[in-house]
Amino acid sequence: MSDRIYTLSGYLYEYQKSVTQPEEFWARIADSFHWRKRWSKVLKWNFDEPNVQWFIGGKLNITENIFERHLFTIGDRPAIIWEANDPNEAGRTLTYKELFYEVNRFANALKSRGIGKGDKVIIYMPMVPEAAIAMLACARIGAIHSVVFAGFSSSALADRVNDCEAKAILTSDGNFRGSKKIAVKAVVDEALEKSSVETVIVYERTKQEVTMKEGRDFWWHEVIASESEQCPAEEMDSEDMLFILYTSGSTGKPKGVVHTTGGYMVYSQYSFDNVFQYSEGDVYWCTADVGWITGHSYIVYGPLLAGATTLMFEGVPTFPDAGRFWAVVEKHKVNVFYTAPTAIRALQAYGTEPIQKYDLSSLKVLGSVGEPINEEAWHWYHTHIGKNKCPIVDTWWQTETGGIMVSPIAGITPTKPAYATLPLPGVQLCIVDPEGNELTGNSVEGNLCIKFPWPSMIRTTYGDHERCKQTYFSTYKGMYFTGDGVKRDHDGYYRILGRVDDVINVSGHRMGTAEVENAINEHPKVIESAVVGYPHEVKGQGIYAYVIADLTNRTEDNLINEIKEMVSKIIGPIAKPDKIQLVPGLPKTRSGKIMRRILRKVAEGSLDNMGDTSTLLDPDVVTKIIEGKK
């Protein structure tokens, strides 16, 4: 592939070119894709509005670039290898040709139900190939998918369904996760009580009992039964919406990050090819869920655009035991393995015995994503999984960036534990101080911004452009603000230090503190709450909630359990607080603002230096909180 970087000097050359001649650079990359009509202008941008457009006037369909573009050469190559939750259940392999036919059949089924270009479709499914088929079928006909992680509760699902005014939901009867069988359709039914969704299509996975509403609910296998394997791709504009993906921010309401067709396509393949240095025939495995951006860009779109073989795993790392990941690596001879630090730390706790049983010699490249990887986990991963021969690509990026922004190029960029190293071509990073002054040179630390557009960047937050502007483009003028703190060391290498806003990162999942507080406050006994993150050995960050509550008719333990259940029900089990402390008051300034800095310190257990507390309305509250900490 002509756009592949093979050497460090090649990387430096390409990077330079991408900065000095960005339009020429991206036009060259984009030219290896199939456009029904070529663009008339590569880029138009303005970060104040913000308004960013790539490959303007270009017409295409992303699925034509996955299938038709190279079907003649790779039709019989495995596209998706699927490994079931239970190791005793047979897996499935779909070649590119088979996947193409399945996508077309399902695309036709959607069309038969009146779903077409511009319609929003929610996908709430387990990790089965049909989840990818659903996404691609939407893209084929120009419908806009919004995948919701199947661990979210019915009310979280309902919020997303209503926010994007979804016309249809694609789901399953149930979901196998480890030793559990989880109801999925029942959650959808609850979410749909007050919605205008016209169609629900249910994939049969667990065969558990479900209720089907006449005229609204249909079985997947029935709707595709009579559909043709041919479905012409809808012609899309480069800037037509491809998908919406909801993510947490510093306010209570999740926002729908919007990605568009042309730029996302170009960047997801370009970054996949280069970061992982995928070679023909390799088996690539990303352990994320399709409900997150990592699943979108690096299980489905990036690898499939690149003609890669992507492995999809339905289960969890510890079922039936803590050797499962390694059993799957051995079984499918996985060459590239991409996971999250939280999974590495969780497995690290089981020691090396579960690894020793398996042959991991197929591995060539290891990846990490979702949160900062601590040095200890990095070394463990490198030594015990990579056997000191696999480069680790620590990839920093976000739902909003659409693709990997800072990462080593596997085997080419010299790595440094806990460092995401250097930006990919096209990514112009900028470190600023709190006033927005750029900190130039090396050995500096500040907030991470990006000062020039890249093709797969967020275009808007669905239905609320102002929010996009306020959240990302208003903190520092003329720049996209990531919300992360960063250090550039003496070598010019980047180390991500974690969020500097009210977002916490629990096991690589983003959570807005306000979102969790809102859920806690739903409990009738809760008067007020404040949530912060604290360092957690396995999860990276844990959720610590300070709650003012009325204890009449409750014991402390009862109430704490009830609050945990409440959060689980409103958002989902991933948001359940790890620790809840009942407190008599919260440290507030005279203007009523909660001083989270203090709460973070107490949660961390660093109690000696509270910093300046003179602006607090009632400094005694801090002493009481410290005394009450268990």
* 258 near ligand WTA (CB under 6 A): no
* 420 near ligand WTA (CB under 6 A): yes
- Which is nearer to ligand WTA, 75 or 485 (by Cβ)? 485
Interface residue with ligand WTA, options 98, 130, 394, 502 (CB under 6 A): 394
Element (H, E) at 622: helix 620-628
The CA distance from 462 to 343, in Å, is 32
For the record, the structure tokens of 186 come out as 């029942």
Which parts of 355-374 interact with ligand WTA (CB under 6 A)? Answer: 368-372
Query: Which runs of E-coded beta strand occur in 408-493?
Result: 429-432, 444-450, 460-461, 480-488
Binding-residue total with ligand WTA (CB under 6 A): 24
Distance in Å, CB of 291 to ligand WTA, minimum? 10
* Cis? peptide before 320, omega within 30° of 0: yes
- Which is nearer to ligand WTA, 143 or 148 (by Cβ)? 148
Interface residue with ligand WTA, options 483, 512, 542, 587 (CB under 6 A): 483
Distance in Å, CB of 499 to ligand WTA, minimum? 5
Element (H, E) at 536: strand 526-536
8-state DSSP, 586:
-
Pairing of strands 217-219, 174-177: unpaired
* 289 near ligand WTA (CB under 6 A): no
Largest CA distance in the chain: 73
* 247 near ligand WTA (CB under 6 A): yes
* 496 near ligand WTA (CB under 6 A): yes
Interface residue with ligand WTA, options 287, 309, 342, 505 (CB under 6 A): 505
The CA distance from 198 to 505, in Å, is 35
* 449 near ligand WTA (CB under 6 A): no
Interface residue with ligand WTA, options 264, 396, 419, 454 (CB under 6 A): 396
Which parts of 290-349 interact with ligand WTA (CB under 6 A)? Answer: 292-294
Distance in Å, CB of 604 to ligand WTA, minimum? 18
* 269 near ligand WTA (CB under 6 A): no
Measured at the CA of 332, the angle between CA 288 and CA 268, to 5 degrees, comes to: 40
For the record, the structure tokens of 262 come out as 């042309």
Pairing of strands 168-172, 120-124: parallel
- Which is nearer to ligand WTA, 171 or 342 (by Cβ)? 342
Interface residue with ligand WTA, options 398, 447, 529, 581 (CB under 6 A): 398
**Which residues does residue 121 pair with via DSSP β-bridges, in sequence order?**
145, 168
Residue of 486, 422, 396 whose CA lies nearest to 449: 486
Q: Which residue is nearest to ligand WTA (CB)?
A: 399
Distance in Å, CB of 172 to ligand WTA, minimum? 23
* 130 near ligand WTA (CB under 6 A): no
Which chain residues interact with ligand WTA by CB under 6 A? 247, 292-294, 368-372, 394-399, 420, 482-484, 496, 498-499, 505, 510
